[in-house]
Amino acid sequence: QVTLTESAPVLVKPTETLTLTCAVSGFSLSHPTMGLSWIRQPPGKALEWLAHIFSNDEKSYSPSLRSRLTVSKDTSKSQVVLTMTNMDPVDTATYYCARLDSNDAFDVWGRGTVVTVSS
């Protein structure tokens, strides 16, 4: 069974750096047709794609957030990490990790983790 589990909910202060982890089980991060994305959803708003890491370690970022985002993976630990710098209250959202399959579909999602940015 494939599962994705985001790290625990977190409260960060404005200007701080956010670090989120997605623990993967049931498939390998080195599988050639699989990749993993981070997607967020502010309260009551739409989904927003943030970043993606491919099996070959190639990365892709949202153009509007590129300067603030870094995604990396540790295949041996089956984990993907997202860091976002200079957090702002508008970054308050539920952050999801989701697997991208060979059909380019997000076929498996984590339950999401709530990130609150407040002083």
CA 60 → CA 26, 43, 45, 75, distances in Å? 24, 25, 23, 18
CB of 88 to other proteins, least distance (A): 18
Smallest separation (angstroms) from other proteins to the CB of 104 = 7
Q: Which residues pair with 51 in a beta bridge?
A: 38, 61
User: Considering beta carbons, is residue 16 or 65 the nearer one to other proteins?
Assistant: 65
Where would I find the H helices in the chain? none
Q: Nearest approach, Cβ of 83 to other proteins (angstroms)?
A: 19
Handedness of CA 118, 87, 5, 75 (dihedral sign): negative
Query: Least Å distance between CB 71 and other proteins?
Result: 13
Please identify, using beta-carbon distances, which residue of 11 and 47 lies nearer to other proteins. Answer: 47
In the complex, the residues that contact other proteins under the rule CB under 8 A are 37, 39, 46-49, 52, 60-63, 96, 98, 103-107, 109-112
In the bound state with other proteins, the residue whose beta carbon lies nearer, of 14 and 26, is: 26
How far is residue 116's CA from residue 14's CA, in Å, rounded to a whole number? Answer: 10
What is the DSSP-derived secondary structure letter of residue 57? S
